[in-house]
Structure 1
């Protein structure tokens, strides 16, 4: 899809004159560079200067609109929040006045006043009394009208808030489209004119007008607060933000997803319509640093903790120091995560305690214990004795592990987290981590990155950390979404969560770990075993949206709003407008796969061509029906998921809402030996449908086919040289016992055959040659079975210790032993028959 067509199909019509004039710029390049009606001529420096001037004008236009619209939206949110507060206060005041007890008191006072007035003015005529009664009825009608109009006013506010949500969505899309447009038009300029404008324009203009770096988190937090205020009619749920639910029996599942940067704002807005943004200090104005989270992970030179977490061994630990906000925060949390296998009956736990930043070095070196610190908490009444004892044990165990296992800071992870949760209710908790970056902290290669301090001091929270050497950091290309569901036994997750995780906005990646990815990427020379997702990082995780699912998570404007387009859907150009865009080398004219019922709007073709296309399709379908009736219809070809430009993938259908342990068995399919037969069966079909390679210089990301479906897309990947892909394998005690039972069964078999051989030797004559031969055959069979039992038991034990995901079945050994046993019996039988 050409980028000019992409802008036109996704822009918000009311802002159409504020977008980058991509088509006009491209047309000028073609005309002035000799591809237009002016004929061939050389592109001069004057032409280049004029073109740069126009680019600057377009850039300033986009920046002014983006900044102005963001300020306008922020002002509208504040104004609406004030209106809601006033409306709620007015309504609460009217409710107090209409309270039954207040009404009774008011009626009592009114009645006494009426009696006094009647006694004082007994000569008042009946006409005056009737007028008083009419006035009272009118006042009652006014009270009823104000109460009825309360809900109506809130409905109007809901529509205004929905419009603001759509505006934020469209503004984020506006920013992305225009920035991409500037990048692409500079590429087109180089191809057409030969002038390399990229570095100059980026340094002199884009970096000085970084409208594309606008952080929407502040707007989203304010919008979430307003949305929650309107949704709850001015009485949002209050509670401890760190508290959990009150369920006694629950099932908790945690699943992680990758989110492409194009879908981040859309995803946040879709979630806040159901859950508010979790803010720990509502009285404080939101700052970007409030969402920053930094963790420093510990390990030794052998990466012992990394391997334990990667292979999910029982008791595997992760030790880290974490702080929230920027580096000025002096409170550091020492955390330990411990993995527990299901067969132990225990749950994986995360425990932590706080320590002052200036004491971290002494604690890590073993010069300081936390006992006195924790005892002081008991004296001040902040902790109970039981809680302090648990904290002491944790601190001592962490310190002991650091000292005995030679642990040191290895890797730092940084990200900005947006959490969605009802305060005090942990049944549904969703967190989205953006700008994820991993940075080396170790000195394994002799480079003192942190010196004698426990963390390096040459960086803060300024993403993307330009001050850090590129070799020492890994900027993760996607956001990470984590969905934690805590539902009662037998209860289904909320429908909106199911719709969200099955949409094209997210891609499930169970068992993803920031610590594991950071070590595997930043320490390749020390890592032999890598996670399954690392060889697939170059795959495009985007895929076309399913119409039904996309509709459920779409950001739509209220139908009553007087707008000309709907956010999240394509704007339909007027039939009188003719779309033209100059052709450009390297741009693909192919469209993405879209629902057929929307192709008229998507293609924007003349009615005659649309009619011809529909007739051709109907004719083809009729031919297929006729072939099907005669039994000659071709077999339908199942489309494979395309995850890269070079090779096809294997889809592993999973339920994204299941806990991560449910994937262990399906991950074994990734073992190359387990997949060998499946790949052989599909190889010929895949070769026939191999997608063409993208041409060099392709300028639009959307030109490549995207994977389809709602499942995880796994491709036929190969580990890099001298690396192995870790396949999660669960080793439970019953597996060990099963191996031992198999060993004992074969021993029993060998002893029985050995007993037969011993019996023959004891009850035959010494001169019986046939008996001696038969006894020898049975003895050989017994010895072979005993050797086979011992060998297979040892082989399987070593495979279990290595947590090998390969095949443990032996299809040849038992067959061979049975053949030897049958041969022994036949030899004895044949020799005895010949003796007769």
Structure 2
């Protein structure tokens, strides 16, 4: 399919005018060349048009992202007020906040798709330009994209904040039990891990789907989250014969992978010394990952052997660590230093990525992580280039500033996909939840069993030194982006309302509960031998039953948070909200439980309801028609509310007149 057609299919109609004018740029290329030979003036004009389009798209993304951040801040302030004053926070209030956050999440997902399709459009049009003319515009685009970046990384921070607030709303402000930092002991359980690639166009949608079920795991809640907090850097060690690489690829018994890992900015303070062992003999043949922590300044001493396992154990004892922790650290340090000495290991490959982990704090039964911006960087000197100063264990010219444009192209490989890892605790008999099964079998992900970051990076960077290659390299030649085959995922209705798995999920569930509860209430009332004391009490009783047993309904959209509505007390002393949508409930009760006067009033209300419903449908269709055609004019309604109020007041006057007569 041509990109022009793809772009038209991907356009979100309300934002149509903000997309790259791909067809216009393409037409400029064709018509100018048909009219005359492409000149320097044509090149300058085309570059100027390209810059204008890029600036338009970038400014739109920045404005929309700022708008989303403002809405998130408003939700955050409101949630904090609910938590500080619980009496303000009704079930309905929490639900409204949750729905508002879901709306923002959908907007972020749409903005991510907008960013990706426009980025692809600029690459495509520049490729056509360079092919059809004698000029090279690719480098110009690369430089402009540095000033006006169109990347998904800008949305990650917003997703983390939405996740935190969504989790609070889901718990209705109750504190979460469990430690976010729990799970540091990697020996505590067995996990079944499955790995998948995610096309960049689908990353934000996958993150959003997981977010609706699991919160983003934040280890340090004492500081405000920043984009660099998700950075993970690892240096893998091997020898010139790639002994560790070969052992891991062949899955030899006892095969090791040794890496030094740190989290966050490049000015690291702590480094985790880690070792993965395939079928560890000291754990009855169970594969294991074990590690201990060192201060960054002590790492060179550990590599050289100056810092011994005995010294490490003594330090831990002085810090008050328990006996098991001290014993484990001594055992791991001894094994790693032995491998360094016997196998002549040295730094081979740096692996960087930004990780978003989803997990209930303190609950390790289900954990999902998504790694984006995956990058492999050479650390070796096999080609004669010195990349480290003597005595250093990693190169000091690389930070966490993806895409590392300053690193020579021969030293770096940028992976085109994101990596999803789903981990399930198998020793507890845990099975994947239904939503995870649907996600992992959907069009949004591509399964790659036994994928390894180090094996992939080494096979590309050192292909001339390695006799064996991983099986999944052939998968890199295919397009992993699959067409949508079902309604699974996030989408929009024809009126642009959010759909989850093709449904107005919350509204439909609430409406079904509401109808069922009202019907139950009416059936119970008709079976009762004793008539209600009064019509007013029956209305209050039925309404209180609905509100007590079911959630407050929200129809196909999210009402803006605002002050609480007027309250009246029911017969049982419960708070009952008065809503315009309850006119049909009043009408049913008037017709079923009233006398002749009540039935006349009920008939009048039914007539008003029918008129209002038809008028509302007319206004909705007219506004949708105006929005789709981006027409100027009034979108508010001057007369509808006034006429509705007059009709209701008239009906009440008739009701009172008939009653008092």
Structure 2 matches for 1:82-93, cutoff 5 A? 82-90=77-85, 92-93=86-87
Question: Which residue number in structure 2 is paired with residue 353 of structure 1?
Answer: 292
Decide whether the 8 Å contact of 1:249 with 1:489 is kept in 2: no
Aligned to 2:55: 60
What residue is the counterpart of 1:399 in the other structure? Answer: 337
Distance 1:543 1:341, change over 3 A: farther
Q: What do the CA deviations read for 1:616-640 (whole angstroms, capped 9, x no partner)?
A: xxxxxxxxxxxxxxxxxxxxxxxxx
What residue number does 2:399 align with? Answer: 460
Counterpart CA distance in 2 for 1:569 and 1:273 is: 12
CA distance in 1 between partners of 2:191 and 2:312 (Å): 34
- C-alpha distance in 2 between matches for 1:286 and 1:233: 23
Cα distance change of structure 1 residues 369 and 52 upon mapping to structure 2, 3 Å threshold = same
Pair 1:500–1:533, CA change in 2 (3 A): same
Which has the higher Rg, Structure 1 or Structure 2? 1
Structure 1 unaligned segments of length 5 or more: list them.
35-39, 95-146, 571-836
Instruction: Establish whether residue 555 from structure 1 lines up as the match of residue 495 from structure 2.
Output: no
C-alpha distance in 2 between matches for 1:427 and 1:252: 9
Is this contact kept in 2: 1:14–1:563, CA < 8 A? no
After superposition, the C-alpha distances for 1:353-411 in whole angstroms (9 at most, x for unaligned) are: 11222222222122221423432332332x12332122112212211221122111111
Question: How far is the alpha carbon of 1:169 from its aligned partner?
Answer: 0.5
Contact 2:103 2:498 in 1 (8 A): no
- The secondary structure found in structure 1 opposite 2:123 is helix
SS in 1 for 2:286: coil
Distance (Å, rounded) in 1 between the aligned partners of 2:351 and 2:4: 38
SS at match of 2:154: coil
Deviation readout 1:259-288 (Å, 9 max, x if unpaired): 111111111111111111100112311212
Q: Which of 162, 168, 175 does residue 102 from structure 2 map onto?
A: 162
Match of 1:104 in 2: none
The residue number in structure 2 matching 1:23 is 23
For residue 367 of structure 1, the aligned residue among 282, 295, 306 is: 306
Match among 345, 354, 365 for residue 427 of structure 1: 365
1:10 aligned residue: 10
Shift of 1:516: 1.3
Aligned partner of 2:347 in structure 1 is 409
Deviations 1:5-45 (A, max 9, x none): 222222222212211222233334444443xxxxx444444
2:455 is the alignment partner of 1:496? no
Q: Distance in 1 between matches of 2:200 and 2:49?
A: 29
- C-alpha contact 2:116 2:150 (8 A) present in aligned 1: no
The CA deviation string for residues 293-345 of structure 1, in whole angstroms up to 9 with x for no partner, is: 11111112221111111111111111111111122112111111111079984
| Residues 1:443 and 2:438 are matched in the alignment | no
Cross-structure match for 1:99: none
- Does 2:445 correspond to 1:530? no
Conserved? CA contact 2:129–2:137, under 8 Å: no
TM-score, normalised with respect to structure 1: 0.56
Q: In structure 2, the residue corresponding to 1:258 is in which secondary structure?
A: strand
Match of 1:316 in 2: 255
CA distance in 1 between counterparts of 2:282 and 2:223 reads 46
CA pair 93-203 structure 1, distance change in 2 beyond 3 A: closer
Q: Does 1:385 align with 2:323?
A: yes
Residue 185 of structure 2 is aligned to residue 281 of structure 1 = no
Pick closer, same or farther for the CA change 1:361–1:517 going to 2, 3 Å.
same
1:695-714 aligned at under 5 Å gives the runs none
Q: 1:388 to 1:23 in 2, by over 3 A?
A: same
What is the match of residue 171 of structure 1?
Answer: 111
Give RMSD over aligned pairs.
Answer: 2.8
1:250 to 1:49, Cα distance in 2 relative to 1, 3 A: closer
Structure 1 residues 88 and 250: alpha-carbon distance in aligned structure 2, compared to 1, 3 A threshold: same
Out of 178, 184, 206, the residue aligned to residue 239 of structure 1 is: 178
Q: Find the aligned partners of 2:332 and 2:154 in 1 and give their Cα distance.
A: 38
3-state DSSP of counterpart to 1:511: coil
Cα deviation for residue 291 of structure 1 reads 0.8
Distance in 2 separating the partners of 1:74 and 1:280: 22
Q: Identify the residue that residue 579 of structure 2 maps to in structure 1.
A: none
Stretch deviating more after TM superposition (301-310 or 7-16)? 7-16
1:182 aligns with 2:177: no
Distance 1:182 1:567, change over 3 A: farther
In the TM superposition, what are the counterparts of 1:534-683 in structure 2 within 5 Å?
A: 534-547=473-486, 551-552=487-488, 554-556=489-491, 563-564=495-496
Shift, 1:460, TM fit: 1.1
- Alpha-carbon distance in 2 for matches of 1:251, 1:353: 19
User: Would you say the 8 A contact 1:245–1:426 is kept in 2?
Assistant: no
Q: Is the 8 A contact 2:280 2:288 kept in 1?
A: no
- Alignment correspondent of 2:208: 269
**Superposed CA offset, 1:527-572 (max 9, x none):** 111111123322222222221xxx23x2245x7xx954657999xx
Secondary structure of the corresponding residue to residue 353 of structure 2:
strand
1:328 pairs with one of 240, 264, 267: 267
Matched, 1:508 2:503: no
**Of 155, 158, 182, the match for 1:216:** 155
SS in structure 2 at match of 1:530: coil
By relative contact order (CA 8 Å, sep 6+), the higher-ranking structure is 1
Q: Deviations over 1:473-531 (max 9, x none)?
A: 22222111110012575553200010010011111111111111122221222211111
Distance 2:435 2:82 in 1: 30
**1:388, 1:342 → 2: CA distance?**
21
Q: Distance in 1 between matches of 2:339 and 2:427?
A: 37
CA distance in 1 between partners of 2:349 and 2:189 (Å): 35
The 8 Å contact of residues 239 and 423 in structure 1, kept in 2 or not, is answered as yes
Q: When the two structures are superposed, what TM-score results if normalisation uses the length of structure 2?
A: 0.71
How big is the shift at 1:84?
A: 2.0
**Contact 1:430-1:483 at 8 Å conserved across structures:** yes
Deviation at 1:50? 3.1
* Alpha-carbon shift at residue 236 of structure 1 (Å): 5.2
Change (3 A) 1:438 1:56: closer
Contact 1:487 1:493 in 2 (8 A): no
Q: CA distance change for structure 1 residues 329 and 344 in 2, over 3 Å: closer, same or farther?
A: closer
Cα distance in 1, alignment partners of residues 142 and 196 from structure 2: 34
Q: Secondary structure at the match of 1:216?
A: helix
Task: Indicate how the Cα distance of structure 1 residues 210 and 244 shifts in structure 2: closer, same or farther if over 3 A, else same.
Answer: closer
Contact between 2:199 and 2:445, CA under 8 Å: does it hold in 1? yes
- The CA distance in 2 between the partners of 1:249 and 1:187, in whole Å, is 52
Equivalent of 1:46 in 41, 46, 54: 41
Cα distance change, pair 368–73 in 1 and its aligned pair in 2 (3 A): same
Q: Does 1:304 align with 2:240?
A: no
Contact 1:297/1:410 (<8 A) preserved: yes
Query: Using a 3 Å threshold, how does the CA distance of structure 1 residues 397 and 18 change in structure 2: closer, same or farther?
Result: same
Give 1:443 shift.
Answer: 2.2
Secondary structure of residue in 2 paired with 1:336? strand
| SS of residue in 1 equivalent to 2:364 | strand
Q: Which runs of 5+ in 2 are unaligned?
A: 503-661
Q: Provide the C-alpha distance between the structure 2 equivalents of 1:209 and 1:18, rounded to a whole number of angstroms.
A: 15
Q: Is the 8 A contact 2:152 2:204 kept in 1?
A: no
